[in-house]
Amino acid sequence: MDQRNTVGEILILVAYLLAITAAEAVTVLVQPVWGIVCHAIVLVAVVVHSALASDSRLQQLVLSLALVPLVRIISLSMPLVHIPQIWWYPIIYVPLLVAAIDVPPLNDTRYNLTKGGINGQKGIHTGTDH
């Protein structure tokens, strides 16, 4: 990997950091609903960028950033008003833990989650052999 790619990747990651920070500022200063919209936009951008990335290290790093807006969207959308605050964190993070355990590794050969899969060459493995 040459120096230009590394600098470009750092700039992209800083841009995502700024986007997440801006979405959080909208959540706190404007209105939580608009914050959810901003976090959803960041989430879609991160997932699409990860799917289109050619470098597997960058792909995994960018995809790991998807947890930040996902946590915020879940925490803002769950109706926790009548539940004691001590239970908020387990209620919010258990679905994320289940998703993290259930999702296959990115380098799993049974799934074509790369750019070719998005273009429809193989798609996602359905469990049947053709």
Give a three-class secondary structure readout of the chain.
CCHHHHHHHHHHHHHHHHHHHHHHHHHHHHCHHHHHHHHHHHHHHHHHHHHHCCCHHHHHHHHHCCHHHHHHHHHHHCCCCCCCHHHHHHHHHHHHHHHHHHCCCCCCCCECCCHHHHCCCCCECCCCCC
pLDDT at position 22 is: 95
pLDDT at position 120 is: 45
pLDDT at position 80 is: 76
What backbone torsions phi and psi does residue 111 show, to the nearest 5 degrees?
Answer: -115, 140
pLDDT at position 4 is: 59
pLDDT at position 42 is: 94
Domain ranges of the chain: 3-118
Low-confidence ranges of the chain (pLDDT < 50): 110-111, 113, 115-126, 129-130
pLDDT at position 98 is: 76
pLDDT at position 50 is: 85
pLDDT at position 41 is: 95
